[in-house]
Chains A and B, each alone.
Chain A
Amino acid sequence: MYLLILQFSDKFFYSSTACTVLSRTLMHPTHADNYENVSIIFILHWWCFSGICYTIFDLGFRFDVAWFLTETSPFMWANLGIGLAISLSVVGAAWGIYITGSSIIGGGVKAPRIKTKNLVSIIFCEAVAIYGIIMAIVISNMAENFSGTTPETIGARNYQAGYSMFGAGLTVGFSNLFCGICVGIVGSGAALADAQNGSLFVKILIVEIFGSAIGLFGVIVAILQTSKVKMGD
């Protein structure tokens, strides 16, 4: 009986999470605020309720992190890492490119001379996506087949490989995401400043170079994370 309630509460919890996420992404920000607040309060209450129920009924063992980590295949983590590496990098690059691109187009109406010089900012943003795809290819080349089905036969090294690849993907993905946004905002400022005064562009370019260095840091750390990865038997 209690198990039934808890199973039901789990499904409800996931569906209400999904509601919040959907409402936030699909609706116009101002309209979604009310729904978002109600859903968040709802979810928090369900979490508390579920947690209290699990503890009271001595069913805490069902919330088993170790089981989750050993029963999920390292391939899942590896592929998630590869997916995150490329997709978050592309999100960062795209964000940066549209921020800079719209400012270049706007500024180029009255000052057409800025058009060609400011493509350098776009190239800096694009480099971020290239880092992402390089890392995705490097990480995906490390995924090998192994013939184990239980946690004991799979072996620690394969698990370590899976987690490393996931971590590397996260590292390079998020650092490229923020690097892309940073370069985009600086590039937009550079375009508008260049339109007013041509000598400012080179100075702001230096700021952009520093901004794009942080994406490179992410790639370096990701390479280090995957340097010891050895999947297989």
Chain B
Amino acid sequence: DLSFNVDHGYLEGLVRGLKAGILTRSDYHNLAQCDTLEDMKLHLQSTDYGSLLTAGNEDLTVSLLDNRLKGTILTEFRCLRAHSLPPLSTFLDYITYSYMIDNVVLLITGALKHRDVEELLPRCHPLGTFDQMAAVGIARTHAELYSAILVDTPLAPFFQDAVSEANLDEMGAEIMRNKLYKAYLEAFYAFCWERGGATRDIMCPILEFEADRRSFIITVNSFGTDLSGGDRRALYPSCGRLYPEGLQLLARAEDHEQVKAVAEYYPDYKLIFSDTEDGSSRTLEDRFFEQEVHLNTLAFLDQFHLGVFYSYIKLKEQEARNIVWIAECVTQRQKSKIDNYIPIF
């Protein structure tokens, strides 16, 4: 686009510079060779992370590593968000809404288990904070939650389907999470579609894949619970490639084989669901992550679009998951599974 750089040129350059610091296969190889967390700290110092672990004098544990990694993502995101102008600022806000939804559900389930709000707040995802978070635990029904607390937050428009008079229980919180996420994903998809151009071409496939992945995961997770097909159908996001025929078939699926049969109709998902020949222990979740990483790396091949920001955040999160996985394997001396990370570049 000809006027993209007026508002977003600096930030795009900045994000691409940050993307250059994402760990490569050789970095992961070096990290996997480490025997202790101290070695890993040494290796991480030579990457873009620099003094991530050397600052401060707390004990070097995997949870410290995890917190510090999340802290870097948070700082970078906040920096980008602070410098951004519309429509990039709305785009970045859309990225935070998914974390807000997770935080809301976390607080509600915590309140149901009578946990203290102070204890739950640090466990919330920092990217998804909003003002009235502490008050979320007080609500007892969906309608109360909405009208008292969430109507002022950015999540208000996603509540159209999720409001019901039923009391909030464990199952209800999960259903609410999926309904909110469905509305959020569809709104995000519409936003990206409306931007047009390269943003649409990059972001819409990513969001379609996300929608389909949610549909598959919801179906697979609902086997054995009392979530019927009709209820499931209300939770499937409709902005994916499975809509509408695939979603109808999924709603009727009763076991894993039938889900696999549905995936047969779509070449990408057929690959994901197919059994591997070498018998590597990749779970379904891992395969979905791999496909997500692949779609996100495509965003950097095009210039003057907003997709780079979304892809950067998601790839950084995947990198954090990779490093934590390697750290866990190293500390527990389970070197056999250490190669189950997903290399990005």
Contact = CB atoms under 8 A, between A and B. Distances in A.
B23 to A, nearest CB: 15
A102 B13 contact: yes
Contacts of B13: 102-109, 191-192, 195
Interface residues of A, number: 22
Contact of A192 (B2, B6, B303): B303
A110 B10 contact: no
A196 B16 contact: yes
Contact of B16 (A105, A181, A185, A195): A195
Contact of A195 (B2, B17, B303): B17
Given A95-B2, A181-B2, A192-B303, A110 B9 contact: no
A195 B6 CA distance: 20
Contacts of B2: 95, 99, 181, 185
Given A192-B303, A196-B16, A106 B9 contact: yes
Interface string B7-33: 001111111111011000000000000
A154 interface: no
A192 B17 CA distance: 8
Interface residues of B, number: 16
Contacts of B10: 102-103, 105-106
Contacts, number: 63
Contacts of B11: 106
Given A107-B17, A192-B16, A195-B17, A98 B303 contact: no
A189 interface: yes
B16 A107 contact: yes
A28 to B, nearest CB: 9
A99 B13 CA distance: 11
Contacts of B9: 98-99, 101-103, 105-106, 188
B269 to A, nearest CB: 32
A43 to B, nearest CB: 25
Contact of B21 (A99, A110, A189): A110
B35 to A, nearest CB: 31
A32 interface: no
A216 interface: no
Contacts of A195: 13, 16-17, 20
A223 interface: no
Interface centre among A102, A109, A181, A191 (most CB of B within 10 A): A102
Contacts of A109: 13-14, 17
A103 B10 CA distance: 5
Given A102-B9, A196-B16, 14 more contacts: A95-B2, A102-B10, A103-B5, A103-B9, A103-B13, A105-B10, A106-B12, A106-B15, A106-B17, A107-B13, A189-B303, A192-B12, A195-B16, A195-B17
Interface of B: 2, 5-6, 9-18, 20-21, 303
5 contacts: A107-B16, A107-B17, A108-B13, A191-B13, A196-B16
